[in-house]
Structures are given as structure tokens and as C-alpha cells.
Amino acid sequence: MKIWAHRGCSQRYPENTLLAFEKAAGLKGLTGIELDIQLSKDGEIVVIHDEMVDRTTNGTGYVKDHTLAELKGLKIDAGDGQYWQIVTLGEVLDLLADRIRQGLKINIELKNSSIPYDGMEEKVVEMVYKRGIQNSIVYSSFYAKSLEKLKALDNTAELGILDTKVSDCLYKLEGGCGAAALHPFWRGMDLPKEKLRDYRVRAWFGGHLYPEKPTGTRLDLVALKGQGITDVFLNEPEKYLVD
């Protein structure tokens, strides 16, 4: 079972921050790090899960209605009087550059199913190619047409289609979105393993996150593997890698 850090080490540290990514990058045996991108008002790729800034920062409103400078002025509370900023995708890739060269994979989730950001696919592919790290990237989205566009821009891109149920992921994949992997919710395995054929199945663990608290669920990785899951995105990857 391959282990990924979901928004970095996001159970103990504020999700999608340089702190959470840095902590994840230091984990021995980690396959990769998952992160989420939106576009700012001035077209910059920023790393944040929600379409709005309200949940994770001291600000309000949609990401798309704030310039990068305005987003940088918001605070993400890390506790003990420490604060972090919303970061750009470029800043994250620069932080992780050495670990990427050493084999760390990055899953970039395009958050464009609610807001179809114009030009998002072109921007992210250009950024990845400028750094020469295209073989280390997995792109994912709930929006099948976005994956189709990514495939047209880069026919070698590794793509994963997201949905809550694995059956819905498979339906989208067979519709021709170009994905080679299924990315369902870990409790959404509603098909027998045989139906999944040889597809890679990367399941995500949900739940909100920081500040540190018990998740209430201890995942049985052996049982998940028996369902056909090959990879898991975890909020607390450190707990599973040390076992």
C-alpha cells in the first residue's frame, strides 16, 4: 500500500501550508504529497482546498475574488501565536524540489468542478514543464472535462479521476476523460475488486483536520488493499508509515 500525505501532514499542521508540506517531505517511505489548487483574481495558482477562504484563514469570500497580494495578507492560524500564509504552487514546488528529484510524487488536484477557472490547465502544465518535473506529477479532478483538457495539453500526463464512489470514478473514466487511475473516497468502494481490473485506485480519507484531534477512525490498510485500493491519501501519514 502506497501512502500519500493529504494536503501535507494536515492532521497536526494547517493544511496546504509550507509547514504541512515540509513535515510530510521529511517522512521516510512516503510516496507523495497531495495538494489542491485554485486561481486568484489575477490568475495566480494558489494552494488552497476550498473555493472560499473562510474556513482556513481569517478572511472571507471567494479565492477568485482576491488578488494574490490580498490572499498573502490573510493569516492561517498554526497555534501558539504562529501564522502561515496561503502559498502559490510555485512556492510549494520550489520547497519540495530536492525531494521531487529524489522520487517524491506530487498529486495536484485542480479544484475546478464548482468554478471552471479559465486557463487553469494551461497554467499548471506550463509551470510543471518549466521545472522539468512532469514525470513526478499526478493531476486529479472531479471534473472529467478538465482531465480531457490536460490530456490534450500533455498526452503523457498521469491523470486520476475523483468522485465519492469508485463506480462513479469508473463511469467517468470509461467516458473518455483520459485518466488511468481512480480516486474515490475510501468508504466509496462499491464495486468488487474484479470490476476494477488493473486500474490504480488511490483512495482519499476525508474529515477536517487541524487542530490536532483524534480522527475517530483507524484505517485497516490490509482490508483496504483487499478491496482493490493501491494507494491512500492520509491526513496522518506519519502514523501509518511508522507501523
- Residue 49 annotated in active site: yes
CA gap 65, 70 in Å, rounded: 9
CA gap 139, 234 in Å, rounded: 17
DSSP 111-139: --SSS--TTHHHHHHHHHHHHT-GGGEEE
Is residue 50 within a helix (H) or strand (E), and if so which, with residue range? none
Q: What is the CATH number of the domain that holds 169?
A: 3.20.20.190
Residue 187 lies in a domain: yes
What's the confidence (pLDDT) of residue 79?
Answer: 85
What's the confidence (pLDDT) of residue 91?
Answer: 99
Residue 76 lies in a domain: no
Residue 43 lies in a domain: yes
- Beta strands 2-6 and 32-39 are parallel
pLDDT tens for 6-37 read: 999 998 999 999 999 999 999 999 999 999 99
pLDDT tens for 190-201 read: 999 999 988 999
Given 6, 66, 183, 208, the catalytic residue: 6
Residue 69 lies in a domain: no
Residues of the chain with confidence (pLDDT) below 70: 206-217, 242-243
Contacts 24+ apart (CB under 8 A), 117-126: 117/38, 117/39, 117/64, 119/39, 119/43, 120/37, 120/39, 120/45, 120/146, 121/146, 121/149, 121/150, 121/153, 122/153, 123/39, 123/43, 123/45, 124/37, 124/45, 124/89, 125/150, 125/153, 125/154, 125/157
Residues constituting the chain = 243
Residue 71 lies in a domain: no
- Closest by CA position to 57, among listed 40, 36, 42, 71: 71
CA gap 8, 23 in Å, rounded: 7
Grid cell of 128 as nine digits: 510543471
What's the confidence (pLDDT) of residue 218?
Answer: 73
What's the confidence (pLDDT) of residue 207?
Answer: 59
Residue 68 lies in a domain: no
Residue 61 lies in a domain: no
Residue 19, domain extent: 2-50+87-241
Residue 220 lies in a domain: yes
What total of structural domains would you count in the chain? Answer: 1
What's the confidence (pLDDT) of residue 80?
Answer: 82
Given 49, 66, 183, 208, the catalytic residue: 49
Grid cell of 2 as nine digits: 502506497
